[in-house]
Structure 1
Amino acid sequence: MALAVTMAACGSSSSDSGPAVEPGDPSLTGSPIKLMVIAQLTATNQAETPQTVSAAKASASAINARGGIGGRPLQILSCDDKVDANAAAACARKAVSDGAVATVGQVSAMGAAINPVLQQNGMANIGPYPLSASDFSSPSSFPLCAGGPAAIAGVARNLGTNGAETVGLAYFGNAAGATSVPFVTTGLAGTGAKAGPKVPVPPGTADLAPVAAATTKGADAAVLALQPDDAVHFVQVARQSGNTAKLGMPAQDPGLFKKLGGAGDGLYVATQFAPQSSSVPGIKQFLADMEKYARGTRLDDYALNAWLGVQAFEKMLAQQKPATIDTATVKAGMSRLVNLDLGGVVAPYTTTKESEMPGLNRIFGPQVQLGTIKNGQIVTDGKWVNPFLPASGG
């Protein structure tokens, strides 16, 4: 049921081309602990996500600089899914054959090919950015955020609790994009607002002015569940035409709001991670690690998620204290987490009970933060809200 609705996924395998061990304390002499990032690394469009590997390596480098894992260094492997199910499955098999104890920070729409291989080999998929139904349901999957469903429901919740009466939806015009429709209704529950027009938008539509008009016909607000560049274009043409409807979109790439300039001010957003402008400890550490070890990397949600996946691995070991570190103990440890503190980047993370939402049972962290855009930055009150619950209980 729940597929990617804010990104077109892209990306035989290629192994890590970086150093054998991520930079860190030279006194780390134990055998490396290997983690693999599976992502779309050689896509030919904007969906290429090499920042995931850079961010995971930066995270590992910072851990190694602090002494590694019990004196052992972390090593980040990477593999390109090439937007191909066979290549993605090969990546999962490579994670096994190369001795990785888990995968981390995955950005791939090929979860249906990856997760069964990991499950068969008892390996955890830590922090996949959920882009396929398998990522939301596989016993191997431990997403740290709730992906498109929570983002779309969160934007609708934000609009509904801020005066909107009828909320339209412009969504990515394919079968995956259509899955955003029920999440708008879910997000509006308890707000008093109702769902309005639902307009599919083929990717790369040159003229979005008619789309903006159709989405807000009879509606005073709209959720934009579109490719990021199309969402930016929608906002621009809507404002240029004098359309005053309240507009909202997932906050996935902070850089997009700077592109909008003044046209972006007042946008309603939902973010699955604490804003990068916030002062929570995890965000401060993320930015410092990226500046030191991966300067120039694109700092979007995919990068933050990959960095956080490596941090979650370290913190899981500290909480669970397994006697050995292998695929079995890592997966078991990930299954027993209770209120794991990830530095405020996400809400405290518990995995001992699955979600009761059909098809979304592996959502352990459904919460989002709601906010607006001001001077190109995401501004929230720092509170976590569950948009899958009615507004009175969210």
Structure 2
Amino acid sequence: MTGRRHTSIKRTFTALSAVVTGGALVAGCGLIPGATGGSGDRTVTVMTWAPEKTDATNMPGMPAMARAYARWTNAHGGLGGRRLRVLTCNDHDDSVGAAKCARKAADAGAVAVVGSYSQHGRAFLSPLESAGIPYIGGYGTTDAEFTSPLSYPVNGGQAALLAGNGRQLAERCARTVLVRPDTIAGDELVPLLNAGLAERDRGAVADLRAPEDATDYGGKAREALTTASSAGLGREGCVAAVLGERTNTFFDSFRRLRASYPAVRTATVLGSIDQSTINRTGGARSPYEGAYVTGWYPASDDARWDGMKRVIKEQAFDDNRIDPADAGVQTTWIAYEVLRQAVGSLGDGEVTARAVSSALDEGLQVDTGGLTPPLRWGYDHMSDAGDFPRLVNARVTFQRVEKGRLVATRKSAVDLTQTLAKAS
């Protein structure tokens, strides 16, 4: 990105933020409940949402983790002496449902939406912006989460994962096939993977669309294998499947055909699989053995997750929705740590939606214990990652499934800021 363009984006964000926070100030008269936050009774109200019980993507661990975090926080003195009240909402993986959740957050006086998942960014961000409510630590499934002045992402979202997966595969694959949902969100994955492949001058990915709610992918698996194997004798082809919850269904179909294509390697991203998925599907004998995997965070057995695991053990030991290896659960944990530090920075001041967003906008540096780099969202710290100015953490980790375990293939994380800038 040129310096002139970066400066222009900063000016645009400053102006838009003034409009958004100005609306919140008008709302201080009581017109918009989201701006008041219920701080008079020393209670901080927030919301966490995610899709549950749908035919496609389900993330029940995220609201479950949020509730466990609230129980743990309140059992240990609250947020600076304030009680944390967590509301949850099911967006049903639907744009109407996502907008309803956002309006419920405003009606309930939420000071933030924290650690949530939705594929419908435009549907929920508009009502949140109207109410002046910050969106902290979304899962990053849509580009809108990296452009809204009231969004505070903690990871690089699907953008970083796909670009990172492309970079990872560019070192190994003569040809790559991407199997992805036949949706608008799926359309956004292709140029990102291509940006990573371009780092090693690999050709464009072969784009294979698939229904995101299928119960069998036999035909798509055969097509992917055939295309990947056309890389030629002695040259590895790779199949990257990014189908969310249906990734496991795809690889189940894939494994039945793979023996006929020994030169084809597999790949995916965290969120589509995790360590528990590998364990559940056979460990070292699972269809993921040998797969290249790109993630946002350290591997789940890393000691930096010990704090989260203690909270789960203390408050949700028997809740099987909460898997500490799940990227959604991990994102929710990090997002609530951002909230804790933002509220802590306010001292004894009133906790409102505007106060929380102002703390984050004015340079507060959030320490996540090494799970991410230090996070800052001030306008002087906006990203150079092209069309993703709010993407302040563009780091990913490269992993591989070996003997049934996700292991790091590099000691340090890889920064994809420049790769994403080229994708734009």
TM-score w.r.t. length of structure 1: 0.83
1:240 and 2:259 correspond:
yes
Candidates 185, 203, 225, aligned match of 1:194? 203
Deviation at 1:95, TM superposition (A): 1.3
Q: Is the 1:58–1:290 contact (alpha carbons within 8 Å) kept by the matching residues of 2?
A: yes
Asked if the contact 1:32–1:72 (Cα under 8 Å) also holds between the matched residues in 2, the reply is yes
Whole-Å separation in 2 of the counterparts to 1:123 and 1:101: 6
Aligned to 2:18: none
What residue in structure 2 maps to residue 384 of structure 1? 413
Residues 231 and 151 (structure 1), Cα distance of their counterparts in 2 relative to 1, 3 Å cut: farther
* 2:310 equivalent to 1:288: yes
Pair 1:92–1:199, CA change in 2 (3 A): closer
| Residue 238 (structure 2) pairs with residue 221 (structure 1) | yes
Cα distance 1:57–1:337, how it changes in 2: closer, same or farther (>3 A)?
A: farther
SS class of match (2:66): helix
Mapping for residues 245-324 of structure 1, pairs under 5 Å: 245-252=264-271, 253-254=273-274, 255-258=276-279, 259-261=281-283, 262=285, 263-280=287-304, 283-295=305-317, 296-299=320-323, 300-319=326-345, 321=347, 323-324=349-350
- 2:186 maps to 177
CA distance in 2, matches of 1:265, 1:315: 39
Look up the equivalent residue of 1:229 and give its one-letter code: N
Does structure 2 retain, via aligned residues, the 8 Å contact 1:168–1:195? no
Q: Paired residue for 1:34, among 45, 52, 63?
A: 45
CA distance in 2, matches of 1:76, 1:320: 19
Classify the secondary structure of the residue corresponding to 1:249: strand
Deviations 1:177-219 (A, max 9, x none): 1221111221123334333433222332431223322244226
Q: Counterpart of 2:8?
A: none
Letter of the 1:247 partner, please give it.
Answer: T
After the TM superposition, which of the residue ranges 31-40 and 229-238 deviates more from structure 2? 229-238
Is 2:375 the partner of 1:354? no
CA distance in 2, matches of 1:321, 1:273: 30
Partners of 1:301 and 1:55 in 2: CA distance? 12
| Other structure's SS at 2:415 match | coil
Please report how far the alpha carbon of residue 308 of structure 1 lies from its aligned counterpart in structure 2 after TM superposition. Answer: 1.9
1:197–1:216 CA contact under 8 A, matched in 2:
no
> 8 Å contact 2:57–2:93 — kept in the other structure?
no
The answer to whether the 8 Å contact 2:139/2:157 transfers is yes
Q: Map Cα deviations across residues 131-177 of structure 1 (whole Å, 9 max, x no partner).
A: 2332222111112112211111111111223x333333222233331
Provide the rounded CA distance (Å) in 1 between the counterparts of 2:47 and 2:322. Answer: 20
1:390 CA drift (Å): 4.9
Q: Match for 2:394: what amino acid?
A: P
Rg: which structure is higher? 2
What's 2:156 paired with?
A: 146
Query: By how many angstroms is 1:363 displaced?
Result: 1.4
Cα offset, 1:333, TM superposition: 1.4
For 1:96-127, what per-residue CA distance to the aligned partner results, in whole angstroms no more than 9, with x for missing partners?
22121111112112221211111112110111
The separation in 1 between residues aligned to 2:363 and 2:258, in whole angstroms, is 46
2:366 to 317, 337, 340: 340
Q: Deviations over 1:200-259 (max 9, x none)?
A: 223324312233222442262232223322443365245333432232110224222221
Equivalent residue runs for 1:6-45 within 5 Å: 31-41=42-52, 43-45=53-55
Q: 1:330 Cα deviation (Å)? A: 0.3
Report percent identity of matched pairs: 23
**What are structure 2's unaligned runs of at least 5 residues?**
1-39
Contact 1:123/1:327 (8 A) holds in 2 = yes
- Check whether the contact 1:316–1:337 (CA below 8 A) recurs between aligned residues: no
Greater mean deviation of Cα atoms: 355-364 or 88-97 = 355-364
Distance in 1 (alpha carbons) for counterparts of 2:43 and 2:125 = 24
Q: Secondary structure, in 3 states, of the residue corresponding to 1:195? A: coil
Q: Deviations over 1:309-355 (max 9, x none)?
A: 11110023345657331111101112234542112222221212323
CA deviation after TM superposition for structure 1 residue 382, in Å = 4.6
Amino acid at match of 1:328: R
Contact 1:199/1:215, CA 8 A, preserved across alignment: no
Whether the 8 Å CA contact 1:135–1:141 is kept in 2: the answer is: yes
| TM-score, normalised with respect to structure 2 | 0.77
Distance 1:340 1:133 in 2: 23
| More off after superposition, 216-225 vs 139-148 | 216-225
Structure 1 window deviating more from structure 2 (353-362 vs 294-303): it is 353-362
| Structure 2 residue identity aligned to 1:269 | V
Could you say what secondary structure the match of 2:414 adopts? coil
